[in-house]
């Protein structure tokens, strides 16, 4: 079992060590942050865009945040005498802590329910950093299954805890990988945002999911129905397991896009069983390895966990899934969101989903079968 140890940093932020199964007891010395830190800033501002009906976080205070620091000043490497980092321990496995420069929070609360032009309020919510490894270099794909399993445990734990905070409407674990995606720290890490509203993308996916769920009288989620259709068709399947399958979606928007879906309709990562989490560690690593096997250099990506919003109208039809996307369209070419996509939200994809799926099948990792078939391997 993953072992959790919770503590507070010098400015009061929460930090939780998630140590791998079988790791030694944590030294009490790693619980005390000896730095002197200024008090935490008040939340930024949340403004309502009456034209689109969407909230915008105005977080000008984040301009001073750390940007691509040299390796010896990395804020998420373990602490050394020369680099008193955010993590006051000489070593760790996985650690989650509140972002020092959050877009949302640290205060939580309820935002105005009937906003109009001119409505603004504190940017309530929470932003956490998830460090996947004490090692400054490398990537998630290289973590190994035990460590990946610990990260999944951390995601599930934080999903449950953040969902219980006052006013939180959606919990979003994600990873931006690669400077091309705008990463400001090279150390392998992800983030978790807890929003006080349902994000625009979740609202549009949630509306489609609700319609389908209601039309089927609550018998089937939209994601289950699409998964079934993709498995029957087969041309876009990337891998199939006992509990999870991955495919390039029929109408993929990005040059590289894969959806990883649990076969059982669960709202979020916290609802996955132990067996499902075990398989997820395996198939997620396999997918990331395949993304990196497509080209001679690592592929930048955004790994986005779509969890059911906490909104009572949207939650019953929600079905957890991962959307793994990359703007890479050739070894040396990236797709930029320009006029049609950025201004109109109308995507034009220069690759066919079927050819991308074929390439992702062709680069299956050969050291290990993608999915253990039949009896345990």
Residues annotated as part of the active site: 189
Stretch touching Zn ion by CB under 5 A, among 17-25, 77-85, 111-119, 279-287: 77-85
Strand pairing category for 120-122 and 170-177: unpaired
Q: Are 318 and 307 in contact (CB under 8 A)?
A: yes
Q: Is the CB of 187 or the CB of 236 nearer to Zn ion?
A: 187
Residue 341 per-residue DSSP state? I
Looking at 7-15, 118-126, 135-143, 232-240, which segment touches Zn ion (CB under 5 A)?
135-143
Is the Cβ of residue 189 or residue 319 nearer to Zn ion in the bound state?
Answer: 189
Binding mask of the shown chain, residues 89 to 128, with x at each position contacting Zn ion by CB under 5 A? ----------------------------------------
Which whole-number Å values give the CA distances from 238 to 83, 183, 242, 276, 354, in the listed order?
43, 27, 14, 18, 10
Output 136 or 231, the one with its CB closest to Zn ion: 136
Whose Cβ is closer to Zn ion: residue 74's or residue 108's? 74
Which CB atom, from 136 or from 315, has the smaller least distance to Zn ion? 136
Based on the shown chain and the rule CB under 5 A, indicate whether residue 189 belongs to the binding site for Zn ion: no
Name residues contacting Zn ion, limited to 20-39 (CB under 5 A).
Answer: none
Rank residues 8 and 136 by Cβ distance to Zn ion and give the closer one: 136
Report if residue 187 touches Zn ion, rule: CB under 5 A: yes
| Three-state DSSP class for residue 329 | strand
Binding residue for Zn ion (CB under 5 A) from 9, 57, 77, 194?
77
Site for Zn ion in 57-76 (CB under 5 A): 74
Nearer to Zn ion (CB atom), residue 138 or residue 345: 138
Q: Binding to Zn ion by residue 256, rule CB under 5 A?
A: no
Q: How far is the CB of 92 from Zn ion (least distance, A)?
A: 12
Contact window for Zn ion (CB under 5 A) among 129-137, 138-146, 256-264, 269-277 = 129-137
How many residues bind to Zn ion according to rule CB under 5 A? 4
Q: Tell me the closest approach of the beta carbon of residue 77 to Zn ion, in angstroms.
A: 3
Instruction: Give dist(CA 345, CA 118) in Å, integer.
Output: 25
Calculate the CA 87 to chain-centre distance: 21
The H or E element spanning position 162 is helix 145-163
Q: Min. distance of Cβ 39 from Zn ion in angstroms? A: 26
Contact window for Zn ion (CB under 5 A) among 1-9, 34-42, 160-168, 181-189: 181-189
| Shortest spacing between CB 173 and Zn ion, in angstroms | 20
Q: Is 136 an interacting residue with respect to Zn ion (CB under 5 A)?
A: yes
d(CA 57, CA 120): 10
DSSP for 38-76 reads: PPPPPP-EEEEETTTTEEEEE-GGGGGS--S--GGG-TT
Query: 253 CB contacts (<8 Å, ≥6 apart)?
Result: 325, 347, 349
* CB 150 within 8 Å of CB 304: no
Say whether residue 47 binds Zn ion (CB under 5 A): no
Phi first, then psi: what are they for 60, rounded to 5°? -60, -25
| Strand runs labelled E in the chain | 3-8, 14-19, 45-49, 54-58, 94-98, 120-122, 126-131, 170-177, 189-195, 237-240, 244-247, 256-262, 301-306, 321-326, 328-330, 333-334
CB of 85 to Zn ion, least distance (A): 8
CB of 6 to Zn ion, least distance (A): 22
Binding-site ranges for Zn ion (CB under 5 A):
74, 77, 136, 187
């Amino acid at each position: 079992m993953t072992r959790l140890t919770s503590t507070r940093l010098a400015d009061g932020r929460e930090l939780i060590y998630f140590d791998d199964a079988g790791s030694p007891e944590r030294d009490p010395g790693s619980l005390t942050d000896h730095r002197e830190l200024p008090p935490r800033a008040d939340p930024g501002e949340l403004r309502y865009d009456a034209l689109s009906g969407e909230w915008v976080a105005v977080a000008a205070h984040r301009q001073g945040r750390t940007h691509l620091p040299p390796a010896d000043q990395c804020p998420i490497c373990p602490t050394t005498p020369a680099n008193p980092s955010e993590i006051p321990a000489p070593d760790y496995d996985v650690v989650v802590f509140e972002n020092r420069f959050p877009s949302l929070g640290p205060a939580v609360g309820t935002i105005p329910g009937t906003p109009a032009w001119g409505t603004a309020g504190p940017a309530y919510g929470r932003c956490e950093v998830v460090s996947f490894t004490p090692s400054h270099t490398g990537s998630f794909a290289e973590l190994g299954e035990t460590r990946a399993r610990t990260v999944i445990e951390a995601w599930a734990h934080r999903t449950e805890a953040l969902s219980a905070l006052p006013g939180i409407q959606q919990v979003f674990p994600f990873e931006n990988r690669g400077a091309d995606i705008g990463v400001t720290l090279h150390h392998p890490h992800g983030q978790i945002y807890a929003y006080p509203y349902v994000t625009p993308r979740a609202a549009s996916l949630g509306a489609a999911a609700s319609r389908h769920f209601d039309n089927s009288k609550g018998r089937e989620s939209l994601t289950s129905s699409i998964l079934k259709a993709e498995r029957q068709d087969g041309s876009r399947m990337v891998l199939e397991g006992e509990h999870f399958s991955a495919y390039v979606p029929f109408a993929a928007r990005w040059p590289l896009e894969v959806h990883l879906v649990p076969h059982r309709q669960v709202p979020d990562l916290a609802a996955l069983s132990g067996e499902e989490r075990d398989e997820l560690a395996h198939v997620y690593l396999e997918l990331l390895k395949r993304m990196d096997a497509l080209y001679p250099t690592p592929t930048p990506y955004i790994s986005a966990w779509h969890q059911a919003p906490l909104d009572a109208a949207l939650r019953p039809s929600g079905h957890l899934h991962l959307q793994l996307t990359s703007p890479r369209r050739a070894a040396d070419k990236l797709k930029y969101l320009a006029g049609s996509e950025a201004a109109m939200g109308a995507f034009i994809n220069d690759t066919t989903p079927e050819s991308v799926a074929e390439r992702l099948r062709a680069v299956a990792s050969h050291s290990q079968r993608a999915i253990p078939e039949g009896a345990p391997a």
